[in-house]
Amino acid sequence: MYSESNNEALACIVKTNPEIEQYINSIKAEHKKDTSMLVHELRNPLTLLKGTIQYIESKHPETKDFKYWQQLHELIADMENIMSDASLLNSYNHINKEEVNLIALIQNIANSFMPQAIGKDIRLTFTFEPGYESLFSSYSCDATKLKQAVTNLVKNAFEAVKPGNFIQIQLKHQPQTEASPAKLSIIISNNGEPIPEELQENIFTPFVSYKKGGSGIGLALVKKVVDMHYGSISVKSDDSLTVFTIQLPL
């Protein structure tokens, strides 16, 4: 995946040379095709292996009592889940940009979680920086995928908090500096269970999860959506606050 500096460079290139984005998308499409072929080729022998085990089990029921027989089923299920996650991640290779009202989009996300917040005694708020309403209400992005990304982060926040905690969503403008162009920030913070420091560095890596039973695909999808918009995402977490920050180019 791209680094923040890579995305900033690509954003500047695409802004000055819009046709470059067509070449970038064609490279991504080729990568998607190769990954799909790999997953397909892996799924075929796995299906045969699963069928063979089921056949053996039907002909020799006593195999169910073998010490490691159930483990074979669990390993096959794990491999099927990994390939399904890989296919899902691979499907996020194209975005359809349009002018989007981010204030309305994020407000709708907050509203959809409000019943859950009230039921769990969580204080859920959404605020946007005053003075930039025209900018926030007309931003070029893929509304569907960006909504999925923000929803994923809010959902994760709900899994970390307990009654009496808060979840805050903020929409901000970051002015241009000598080191960095102007950006738009979507910040999701909560004061629930922190993410261990040793896991924060790789938290957006596919199939790496800090949650028990997690697939490690949710945050990887968030990262990919942000990358496709030539943005960046970061996390900071300690005992008092966990903050996910999405930065998008302007």
Q: What's the CATH code of the domain at 166?
A: 3.30.565.10
Identify the band that residue 76 occupies on the pLDDT scale cut at 50, 70 and 90: confident
Phi/psi region, residue 49 (left: phi>0; alpha: psi -120 to 50; beta: rest), is alpha
Number of residues that this document lists for the chain: 250
More confident site: 234 or 45: 234
The answer to whether residue 14 is domain-embedded is no
Domain limit, last residue, from 66, 91, 116: 91
More confident site: 45 or 93: 45
Residues 77 and 103 in one domain: no
The answer to whether residue 151 is domain-embedded is yes
pLDDT of residue 215: 53
- What is the rounded distance in angstroms from the CA atom of residue 157 to the CA atom of residue 235? 12
Q: Give me the mean pLDDT over the 47-62 stretch.
A: 89
Q: How many domains does the chain have?
A: 2
More confident site: 12 or 104: 104
pLDDT of residue 99: 95
Residues 222 and 190 in one domain: yes
Q: Which domain holds residue 72?
A: 20-91
Give 80-105 pLDDT, tens digit per residue.
Answer: 777 776 676 666 667 788 999 999 99
pLDDT above 60 (res 68) = yes
249: tokens are 């180019």
Domain limit, last residue, from 33, 66, 91: 91
The answer to whether residue 176 is domain-embedded is yes
CB neighbours of residue 216 within 10 Å: 18
The answer to whether residue 13 is domain-embedded is no
Residues 135 and 77 in one domain: no
Q: Residue 119 in contact with residue 160, Cβ under 8 Å?
A: no
Question: In the chain, what percentage of residues exceed pLDDT 70?
Answer: 80
pLDDT of residue 98: 92
Question: In the chain, what percentage of residues exceed pLDDT 90?
Answer: 42
pLDDT of residue 218: 81
The answer to whether residue 9 is domain-embedded is no
Lowest pLDDT segment from 77-81, 104-108, 197-201: 77-81
pLDDT above 70 (res 200) = yes
Highest mean pLDDT among 33-37, 131-135, 196-200: 131-135
Q: Residue 157 in contact with residue 194, Cβ under 8 Å?
A: no
Residues 228 and 116 in one domain: yes
Residues 103 and 224 in one domain: yes
Residues 87 and 114 in one domain: no
pLDDT of residue 186: 97
Q: Give me the mean pLDDT over the 69-88 stretch.
A: 78
14: tokens are 């695409």
The answer to whether residue 11 is domain-embedded is no
SS (H, E, C) 26-48: HHHHHHHHHHHHHHHHHHHHHHH
- What is the rounded distance in angstroms from the CA atom of residue 222 to the CA atom of residue 149? 5
